């Protein structure tokens, strides 16, 4: 069984993910639907061979010890992949996320126009949040590429692994990969502050140290972009604060209220009007009112501020979902299933 033949078939089917699991045929995800591919069942030996074809040789002992490994893999004239190799039921398995070779421009992603305005910010913290596979990496890549073609600045990305391979345009753009180029996000971010960056992309704020350094970098005049696995703006703020012990939370609230510029929360829907996916997007912009809510521990009021601030570009996830439905892009069932308040949205869609 040939790995590149499998990947070519998945690419031609517009698959977002490919799963290579011993004991199963190769499987792909197309527009959020898992579909077995027309190939034989993968044996344990096949799975190990695929792994050794893709993973750097010096990483094999790490996988054999930890039973999990993240890395990137490129197929010339086809695609780049973000790969997670792991063990299941005593055999190898790999989940591969396809990454398009060309970064799509923001205007092609069906995102609110206010997101482009965020790429003009001189400093502060911008967070893109959502579940795995919600398009966070693509949104961030499009924002970085927009700045890369406009400014003459120094952009530093810290990723696990490197996904979109950027080329320096007007900016000097460096990409550092966890493991190969730095031992941890916190270490990479700490040293990045001594490397004269203007814009820093942190792949994920996973722990208090990384989060604190990202907030500090935003405080000291850098524009910092990062991600969190949260589903809405208010949960994002609470998740950051809850990373810290109680005696540090007031300080973090104060720092976050001063540095946070925006939270973009995304989820992807299968389109019903044509092939492809379309994002539902919640936007929180940090106005003085929002900064006060963060400082005063009243983040539960953030959804109300979002609802009443549409004129300046904010929008709730449910209003974004309703707009997609009324524009004929998504099904009623998908809209209601993804809503924060399904009963309320159902009444709105029926009106």
Is residue 349 one of the residues assigned to a domain?
Answer: no
Q: Which residues does the chain have with pLDDT short of 50?
A: none
Same-domain pairing of 134 and 210: yes
Residue 18 lies in a domain: yes
DSSP class of residue 178 equals B
Could you tell me which residues come within 8 angstroms of residue 72 by beta carbon, excluding any fewer than 6 positions away?
80, 81, 82, 83, 161, 162, 163, 177
Domain range for 140 is 106-315
Do residue 111 and residue 242 come from a single domain? yes
Residue 348 lies inside a defined structural domain of this protein: no
Regarding whether 124 and 91 lie in a shared domain, the answer is no
CB atoms within 10 A of CB 12: 9
**86 plus 143 within the same structural domain:** no
151 and 33 within one domain:
no
Kindly state whether residues 202 and 292 are assigned to the same domain: yes
Are residues 91 and 117 located together in one domain of the fold?
A: no
What pLDDT is recorded for position 76? 85
pLDDT of residue 100: 77
Question: What are the beta bridge partners of residue 178?
Answer: 182
CATH for 252:
3.40.50.300
Residue 156 CB: number of other CB atoms within 10 A? 23
CA 351 – CA 345 distance, rounded (Å) = 10
Number of domains composing the chain: 2
How do residues 67-125 score in pLDDT, each as one tens digit?
A: 999 998 989 888 889 999 999 999 999 999 998 778 889 999 999 999 999 999 999 99
Nearest residue to 226 (alpha-carbon basis) of 125, 327, 340: 125
Q: In which region does residue 74 sit, left (phi positive, over 0), alpha (psi from -120 to 50) or beta (all else)?
A: beta
């Amino acid at each position: 069984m040939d790995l590149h033949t499998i990947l070519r078939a998945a690419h031609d089917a517009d698959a977002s993910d490919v799963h290579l699991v011993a004991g199963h045929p190769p499987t792909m995800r197309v527009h959020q639907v898992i579909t077995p591919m027309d190939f034989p069942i993968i044996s344990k030996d096949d799975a190990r061979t695929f792994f050794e074809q893709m993973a750097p040789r010096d990483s094999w002992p790490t996988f054999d010890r930890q039973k999990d490994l993240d890395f990137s893999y490129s197929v010339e004239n086809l695609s780049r992949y973000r790969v997670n190799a792991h063990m299941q039921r005593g055999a190898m398995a790999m989940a591969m996320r396809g990454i398009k070779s060309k970064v799509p421009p923001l205007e092609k992603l069906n995102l609110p126009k206010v997101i482009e305005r965020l790429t003009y910010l001189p400093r502060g913290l911008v967070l893109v949040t959502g579940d795995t596979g919600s398009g966070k990496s693509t949104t961030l890549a499009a924002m970085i590429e927009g700045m890369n073609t406009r400014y003459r600045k120094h952009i530093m990305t810290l990723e696990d692994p490197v996904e979109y391979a950027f080329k320096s345009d007007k900016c000097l753009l460096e990409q550092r990969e966890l493991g190969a180029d730095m031992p941890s996000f916190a270490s990479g971010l700490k040293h990045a502050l001594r490397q004269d960056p203007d814009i820093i992309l942190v792949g994920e704020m996973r722990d208090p140290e990384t989060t604190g350094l990202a907030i500090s970098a935003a405080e000291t005049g850098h524009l910092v972009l990062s991600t969190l696995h949260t589903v809405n703006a208010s949960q994002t703020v609470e998740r950051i604060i809850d990373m810290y012990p109680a005696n540090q939370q007031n300080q973090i609230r104060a720092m976050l209220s001063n540095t946070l510029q925006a939270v973009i929360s995304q989820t992807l829907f299968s389109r019903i009007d044509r092939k492809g996916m379309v994002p539902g997007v919640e936007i929180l912009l940090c106005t003085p009112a929002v900064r006060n809510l963060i400082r005063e521990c009243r983040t539960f009021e953030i959804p109300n501020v979002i609802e009443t601030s549409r004129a300046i570009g904010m929008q709730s996830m449910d209003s974004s979902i309703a707009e997609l439905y009324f524009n004929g892009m998504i099904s009623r069932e998908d809209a209601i299933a993804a809503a924060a308040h399904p009963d309320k949205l159902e009444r709105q869609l029926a009106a």
